[in-house]
Amino acid sequence: MKHLGLEDKVVLVTGGNRGIGAAIVSLLEELGTQVAYTYRSEPNVESGALAIQADVTDPAAMAAAAETAEEKLGPIYGVVANAGMTRDNFFPKLAIDDWDAVIETNLKGIYNTLIPVIPKMYERREGSVICISSISGERGNIGQTNYAASKAGAIGLTKSLALEAARYGVRANAVAPGFIETEMTKAIPDKVKEKITAEIPFRRFGKPEEVAWAAVFLLSPIASSYVTGTVLQVNGAHHT
């Protein structure tokens, strides 16, 4: 039987301590991947993966995280830029700090994550980069001008990087989850949740594991070797 080719490869996942990131870490570990993940404050005590404390908004911390992962596990083959946050508000009430925090984390955080790793991937002529975008970045969402802008930016970054990286044999893809059951969506009031669920043809929120499989597919040098510059939607048919 053919495997996904991720056995013994090294993959770095940002924000891998909980939610979608933790599901990606756990699935990769099951597949025999050497996984390092970053966390901001609390590591996942249940995970056996290499935990590295690093805030994605801190370029020096992210460079050090990549170095630690390579020292302890070996050359990084894959990166999942997953760390993200929301600071929702209607646009006229959106404070500049909330604009900055979301763009800084969700968009510049991807830059900070990838910049220490991409040149090495080019040298090695292999690598797969996944950016976790969102349905909000594709179709917009009320109260999320900052978040949607950051997630649309992640798609633009990914598609441009895919074009640049192709000649080096490196791939870049985005995953755009719909509404997924995590801490991030726990904050949505029940009434709003019901309304959203009614709009989703699958009539339920997705599970972190369902996003993890999409990320793993895109990481795999076997399953997705000719897939790059694409956005894989995981949204229960909740399209525009």
Ligand X SMILES: NC(=O)c1ccc[n+]([C@@H]2O[C@H](COP(=O)([O-])OP(=O)(O)OC[C@H]3O[C@@H](n4cnc5c(N)ncnc54)[C@H](O)[C@@H]3O)[C@@H](O)[C@H]2O)c1
Interface ranges with ligand X (CB under 6 A) = 14-15, 17-21, 38-40, 55-57, 82-85, 105, 132, 134, 177, 179-180, 182-185
Helix (H, G, I), strand (E, B) or coil at 5: coil
How far, in Å, CA of 155 to CA of 171, rounded? 14
The CB-of-182 to ligand X minimum distance in angstroms stands at 3
* Of 59 and 169, CB closest to ligand X: 59
* Of 20 and 76, CB closest to ligand X: 20
How far, in Å, CA of 199 to CA of 155, rounded? 24
How far, in Å, CA of 180 to CA of 234, rounded? 9
DSSP letter string, 219-231: H-TTTTTT--S-E
180 secondary structure, DSSP code: B
For 127, the token pair is: 């690598």
* Of 32 and 48, CB closest to ligand X: 48
The CB-of-146 to ligand X minimum distance in angstroms stands at 12
Chain mean position to CA 183: 15
* Of 18 and 124, CB closest to ligand X: 18
The CB-of-127 to ligand X minimum distance in angstroms stands at 20
Q: Which of 37, 77, 147, 226 is catalytic?
A: 147
The CB-of-140 to ligand X minimum distance in angstroms stands at 13
**Active-site annotation holds for 147:** yes
Helix 19-30 to helix 208-219 angle (10° resolution) is 50
- Catalytic positions are 147
